[in-house]
Amino acid sequence: MPTSIQQKRIYEEISMRLQTLVQSDNLKPGDRLPPERQLATMFGVSRNSVREAIKSLEQQGLLISRPGAGTYLAEDTQENLTTALGNAFAQARHRLEDIFELRLLLEPQIAHLAAQRITQHEIEELSGLMDIYEKNLHDGQPVFFLDQAFHDAIAAATGNRSITRLMEQMHDLLRESRDEALQSPTRSIRSLEDHQKILSALSSQDPERAREAMKGHLEHTREIVFTSTDATAKSRERT
């Protein structure tokens, strides 16, 4: 059974995807949704989680399930759907703001400590991650998972098991700010540049420079993410 946080995330993701389909005229009121199995694959979650999210939308009158026939976008619900999606979008934005605030409190200090304790082997591992990141970026392959690996490796370089466990326990929460859906070429290129600055500071074992490089990276990422999501919100308001 998914947690309430997971259910909330899935509901928001499915809602936003539906909005995209509706706006592009690929899915209109009365049209059938993709099967649960396909939606589960799209969102990388279990079919049961998708089922729970769809049930939530049904309760709001946005979807209709027809036994043996599938799930359909309810007729004449365009206005209700737009309102519901606007609310979901606002909640997601607020949560992202909280997450970035948390990251700015924690990760610059983690980088500061890591710069004092990092080993040559750990520097080489980080450098290897950046080589893969740059290759994937050049080849048009996903890089978001490498971002998490880079930050996890920095936490591990502190040698503090409590910090490592804390970051592991916060993976689901922090993943929202690194989500593939929030990635863009601009963000990926800027992240590569920022990561290289962080790596340079860690390699020089310069705690202050490492802290400032991490802080700058998170601030740049936050700016890019919210510029993008605010533009999406304005686009929705015009439809």
Q: What is the pLDDT along the chain (239 residues), one digit of tens a residue?
A: 344 444 456 666 666 666 565 555 566 778 888 888 888 787 777 788 778 778 877 877 777 888 888 888 777 555 555 555 555 555 556 677 888 898 999 999 999 999 999 999 999 999 999 999 999 988 988 888 888 899 999 999 999 999 998 888 777 667 666 654 445 677 788 999 999 999 999 999 999 999 999 999 999 988 887 876 544 444 444 44
> Cβ distance 39 to 78 under 8 Å?
no
Instruction: Report domain extents, the chain.
Output: 4-76, 93-238
Predicted pLDDT at 80: 56
Predicted pLDDT at 218: 94
User: Do the domains at 4-76 and 93-238 have one common CATH topology?
Assistant: no
pTM, two decimals, is 0.61
> Cβ distance 201 to 213 under 8 Å?
yes
Instruction: Tell me which architecture the domain covering 93-238 has in CATH.
Output: Up-down Bundle (1.20)
Cα 173 to Cα 157: distance, rounded to the nearest angstrom: 21
The SS3 assignment for 169 reads helix
CATH class of 4-76: mainly alpha
Predicted pLDDT at 184: 67
Predicted pLDDT at 3: 40
- Beta-carbon count within 10 A of 45 CB: 20
Cα 50 to Cα 36: distance, rounded to the nearest angstrom: 7
Per-residue DSSP letter, 25:
T
